Structure 1
């Protein structure tokens, strides 16, 4: 986050994503980096609360996250890049769906202006993941990240557990949010006319996250 007056501070979508994961108790992620997800890996480098386990293949990363989720009772988290990186996760996600293992798979995607242009390493991940996950979405606006991420984690852990996925274009990962924007997006998640949202695993309190930006 940049220095300066509080309201002028900024945070990238990738940094905010990791902050939210931390509030959910995530301390380990599994993955294999690539060009379309480098902003998220840059954010990983800037923090020290989440450990990254480097796999040698994206399918192996998902299976490792499954084992982690089974043994710890926590959410398993996977990072993969666009195109072949994302498609390589399908077998693991399908297995997690069949075995009811809570997995959050975050994939990089080509820049948003290149979507549906057959760009290099572009694949329609939302359609591909439809039968391999409980829920998956494409993040098209920087302001939607927190809402979509919280909802995805809620779906992964709630009811019958299972895998969920978020596909995030590279430019969205790099986008910056001001302190006031983040506070507004978090406030918009409040429920019950002023009550604080408490997600299903009991670990994420939006007022805690909001306090980061006071």
Structure 2
């Protein structure tokens, strides 16, 4: 598990926001996901590559309108691949953090009250899970408190603050860590980012995987 602080330049953050804005207002755009019981998650979501639903898991089409999610944009693929290569310089062996070819992503937007409960990212293919192909997480906007650990035991969880421009990567033996978002800190986004983008208050998070 490697945290690359302030890795995404302001220019690249602006481009990512632009891409997500276009996606968010198009077919299958940002929606507040929920369960068949009526319970809603405390975030808004859309996807690249494949649709992900908390009940039906990975599918080729969006549940709500049957449209096909767009592919992961090439410029983001390049940034992801480079970040994983750089992260590998921080581990003892490259085998601990395999390379990956991102073909699916979740795009989550959290407002100040947004949360995400503890969970594991384990809905990818058996090959991806077995190889420990990493999850690559981009953070843009407000700072969040990210929880993680090898069990759901809250007394054993660790936490880290993810700030705008950070990339968090976990793979190999840490691929199936439990993780979640406990807190969003309002008004913590870089002022230069807000001025440049007129970004809605909150946190934009993209998590990339190889299915």
Output the TM-score relative to the length of structure 1. 0.30
More strand by share: 2
Output the TM-score relative to the length of structure 2. 0.30
More helix by share: 1
